[in-house]
Amino acid sequence: MEEKNPIHDIAHRHGLTEHEARILHHLDRATTLYEELPDSYGKDLADWVAHREALAKLLMVRVVKRDHPEGWLTEVEEEYRKLAEEE
């Protein structure tokens, strides 16, 4: 029986490179480990999850920009493009 590769599965499902999928996998693993911490010392799971989701969104933006490079520019990239067009 073939063993499943979680990194390959994540990459395939989300359109990530293997490197990006490893990052997402480690974010998921870190979240699991954080959930297992004792509740003492101010563990705030909601805050952790919000930050984890923000990091995951950064990876997803990479996918969208890779697939649609002209359609998803940051404000800085738009400014650079405008300056280049003016020259």
2: exposed, middle or buried (Cβ count in 10 Å: 0-12, 13-18, 19+): exposed
pLDDT at 2 (0 to 100): 53
Crossing angle of helices 45-67/6-14, nearest 10°?
Answer: 60
Domain ranges of the chain: 6-86
pLDDT at 27 (0 to 100): 96
pLDDT at 80 (0 to 100): 85
pLDDT at 70 (0 to 100): 77
pLDDT at 69 (0 to 100): 80
Task: Annotate 1-34 with DSSP letters as a single string.
Answer: -PPP-HHHHHHHHHT--HHHHHHHHHHHHHHHHH
- pLDDT block averages, 10 residues each, the chain of length 87: 78 92 96 92 92 95 86 82 86
Q: Name 21's Cβ contacts closer than 8 Å, sequence gap at least 6.
A: 7, 8, 10, 11, 14
pLDDT at 78 (0 to 100): 83
Please give the model's pTM, rounded to 2 decimal places: 0.73
